[in-house]
Chain A
Amino acid sequence: MTLRPLSIAAVVAALAAAPAIAADTIKIGIPVGLSGANSVVAPSVVQSSEYAAKEINDAGGILGMKVELVVADDNSGAQGAQRAFESLVYEEKVNVLISMETSAARNAGLPIVNRGRTPYIYTSFYEGRSCSPWMYVNAWVPEQQVAPIVDHFMAEYGAKTFFLVGSDYAFGRGMLEFTRSYVEANGGTVLGEEYLPMDGSDWTAIISQLKASGADALITSTAGGAPNVTLTKQLRAAGVDMPYGNLAVDEGTAKSMGADATGIYIAASYVTGIDSAENKAFLEGMTATFGDDLITPNDLSVPQYEAIYAYKAAVEAAGSTDPQAVIDALDDVSVTGPRGTITMDAQRHAPLTMYLGQVQADGSVKVIQSFENVDPGDQCPQFAG
């Protein structure tokens, strides 16, 4: 490896500052949507990455090597992702890519990852079935998220008929297609499945169809942010009060939506209220590090934090940063973090403990039920076993 003047300076500075001698650094590339649709959540992902890097470096690094983060904006889309991945893989020559991204950005980046033979840990929940010999996923897929909500509606409310509403894009349609097949496989009926374009804001006709259908329960999967808010507001204004599961709302958004969000069911692999020593230590450490600037940790930023530790464990198990050795080791290593103990051993995906929560009148999310180690199902059969 050739050192450029800047990194020589960094090493010299590290030598001067710390008695622990850093022979080399491990570069972690983080392509993330600092602008565009993901810009609201991306800063929390950068924060949790910085926190993980700081913890690891304070404890001596990985195999004695310091961790260095390289954050690149992918503009939440395909074109930006191509630039970000090319620059990280070929110019920065990062050892690993770890990031939460939109599905469009991930799909655009994967060919570059494959060509550059760079390990990639994807940390965002997504619609499932994205496979690459160089990629692992530690967040949930529809199989894990939809089941808790549908099961609860069927058991608690005796719901037989469902109405599905979403935004017209890969994640929205993917989630609802799975929901439909899951509902039908469990003896329920889907009375309607309707979509609005991502920038659409007038849900009038869909809400009228929903009310006319007389469905027992509603499940929505919109794009995050504005579409989710407009749909929820208009549902409430139209007096819709059936059981309402929202596949796209997170704790923070639910909190700021106020009264309109009350009663909504969500399912997530992370909620801040998880009662474990690891989660408490994580939240305290984050608060101490970022103070008033802290963005509430969420179901996207926590998997990012854990993925950096998964990479650390894999490098330590492999004894080097050799890409193939790390990929082979990632299958076996476990990380115990805020979400519990997680191993990405299910066809490159991870069995996860899922929490079914309901938004309370004060905006907090109350955990109704937890589902231990929900299996992601058949995601990438070519990597089975």
Chain B
Amino acid sequence: MANLALDMITTSAILFVVASGLMIILGVMKLINFAHGAFLTLGGYAAYLTTEAGLSPWLAPLLAGAVGFGVGIVVERVIVRPLYHRPLDAILATWGLGIIIGQLITIGFGREVQFAASPMTGTLDLGGIEYSAYRLTLTAVALAIGGALTALLYLTRFGLNARAVIMNETLARGLGIDSARVRLLTFGLGAGLACGAGALITPLLSVDPNMGLPWLVNSFMLVLVSGVSIPSLALASLILGSAQVAVSSYISPIIGGLTIVVLAAVLLRLYPKGLGRGT
């Protein structure tokens, strides 16, 4: 039972880490970034290159985050910004960008599975229960990311500007906030979070050109259910992640794989605007 609870908590934490970058971009830019899966994959390959270069695997998420931030800045400037007033085209553009990143990775590294070294192996003893040390670490990392994002949004000038843009962009611009800059930094931040998350999940996954794809769908569902707020994303991750683990454990792992999508549809029926904005 305790093991089941740990499975639920750690699975939710992983979902939160993976979805946070998508949510930040959606919140500020009103844009579903369909290149999110490709950014996750990019992070996985950044982790692979980091450990190939002989650097500590602990550095991988940080370096991947930096790479993601850089790529995100360029992508926002070159691809997303010219399409800002054509939201549907912008979504299509990120979709295409995802395909291009995937193909470039395939050309560069081939289709085969790559192996990144893990920063830690083995289990921790939690009062009689042996549990994966890395999953527990990921949970701590998820809490740290949640805390850092909250601090960024509520304690910094950038956060204040970002919240103003989230609430009413026209009004924010009228008050002299450089909303283009806020969007640029937000896209960089979202892409950086996605790449960092990709590097964080590689010790549990294989690095291959399609590794981000299943996570894109789950992140998308989570963000739709949660709406734009960090506590509600955490809540959505906890509800959907726990449901997935419970269904996988008690019914069948095959149905468990569908749980997030189905439950998200039901939740959206009950809370059409997402958990963050109530009924």
- Which residues does A use to contact B, with CB under 8 Å? 39-40, 168, 194-197, 199-206, 208-209, 211-212, 225-226, 229-230, 233-234, 236-239, 253, 256-260
Contacts and interface: CB of A to CB of B under 8 A. Distances in A.
B203 interface: yes
22 contacts: A196-B254, A199-B214, A200-B214, A202-B244, A203-B253, A204-B245, A205-B253, A209-B249, A211-B3, A212-B3, A225-B112, A225-B206, A226-B206, A226-B210, A233-B203, A237-B133, A237-B134, A237-B204, A238-B132, A239-B132, A256-B115, A258-B117
A272 B50 CA distance: 31
Given A195-B253, A233-B118, 15 more contacts: A39-B111, A197-B254, A204-B11, A205-B249, A206-B253, A211-B3, A225-B112, A225-B113, A226-B113, A226-B206, A229-B115, A233-B203, A236-B121, A237-B132, A237-B133
A197 B248 CA distance: 12
The 9 closest A-B pairs by CB, nearest first: A205-B248, A229-B206, A239-B123, A226-B206, A237-B132, A205-B249, A238-B132, A40-B112, A230-B205
Contacts of A239: 122-123, 130, 132
Contacts, number: 98
A183 B106 CA distance: 41
Given A204-B248, A208-B3, A237 B113 contact: no
Interface residues of B, number: 37
B159 interface: no
Per DSSP, chain A at the interface is: helix
B7 interface: yes
Counting chain B CB atoms within 10 Å of each CB, the highest count among A205, A208, A212 belongs to A205
B272 interface: no
A233 B248 contact: no
Interface in B233-266: 244-245, 248-249, 253-254, 256-257
Contact of A206 (B3, B132, B248): B248
Interface of B: 3-4, 7, 10-11, 111-113, 115, 117-118, 121-123, 130-135, 203-206, 208, 210-211, 213-214, 244-245, 248-249, 253-254, 256-257
A226 B133 CA distance: 22
A225 to B, nearest CB: 5
B256 to A, nearest CB: 6
Contact of A233 (B7, B204, B208): B204
A237 B118 contact: yes
A225 B208 contact: yes
Nearest to B256: A205
B60 to A, nearest CB: 15
A230 B204 contact: yes
Nearest to B134: A237
B118 A208 contact: no
B111 to A, nearest CB: 5
A339 to B, nearest CB: 25
A257 B115 contact: yes
Nearest to A35: B111
Contacts of A40: 111-113
B37 to A, nearest CB: 13
A203 B214 CA distance: 14
